[in-house]
Amino acid sequence: MDLSNYIKKQNIYSCMFILVGIAALGIGFFLGYEKKLMFGIALGCIPVGLGSFVVYKLSEKRIDMMKNVELENEERNVFINTKSGQKAFWISYYYIIAIVILKNVISLSIDRFLIITLFFMPLVYFLCVVFYHRKY
């Protein structure tokens, strides 16, 4: 894939994140629907969208950042990220099954379970990335 097309595609994704965040903010505050939930969605989407938009816009102008984007799309890194995502998915899947089976033994509210899961899933993914970078 051409690098300039990749950057354009990433900028479109960034704008979509920003728009979803703004829409959630509007739905929560102006329509009054699930204010806390919509604020959380906006708080997650807007910074991610803005951050990636700024990074990819800067990478169009700076050669050193362009090289980082190029390395990001190198075949080895794509393989490692795909393999890590696959492994993290299955580990998270079995974690959720185990919690569902043990739900009567562990008195855990759904809110706490979801919060723990939100931290557990990316942690497993990033640990897999580190492991596979060392392995391959």
32 Cβ neighbours under 8 A, 6+ residues apart: none
Give the per-residue pLDDT at 47: 94
Residue 128, classified by CB atoms within 10 Å of its CB into exposed (0-12), middle (13-18) or buried (19+), is buried
Query: Whole-angstrom Cα distance, residue 62 to residue 121?
Result: 33
Q: What is the pLDDT of residue 93?
A: 94
* Per-residue pLDDT at 1: 58
Residues 49-89 pLDDT 10s: 999 999 988 888 888 888 888 888 888 888 999 999 999 99
pLDDT at residue 109, rounded to an integer: 82
Over residues 111-115, the mean pLDDT reads: 85
Q: CA quadruple 86, 9, 76, 64: dihedral positive or negative? A: negative
For residues 17-56, one letter each, b for 16 or more C-beta atoms within 10 angstroms of the residue's C-beta and e for the rest, the string is bbebbeebbebbeeeeeeeeebeebbeebbebbeebbebb
Q: Give the model's confidence band at 111: pLDDT under 50 very low, under 70 low, under 90 confident, else very high.
A: confident
**pLDDT tens column, 31-48:** 989 888 899 999 999 999
Q: Given this model, what pLDDT does residue 104 score?
A: 79
Task: Decide which of 97 and 107 is more confident.
Answer: 97
Domain ranges of the chain: 1-73, 74-136
Mean confidence (pLDDT) of the chain? 89
Is residue 49 a contact partner of residue 15, using CB atoms and an 8 Å limit?
A: yes
Question: Which burial class, exposed, middle or buried, applies to 84 when counting CB atoms under 10 A from its CB (0-12, 13-18, 19+)?
Answer: buried
Both tokens assigned to 116:
């723990």
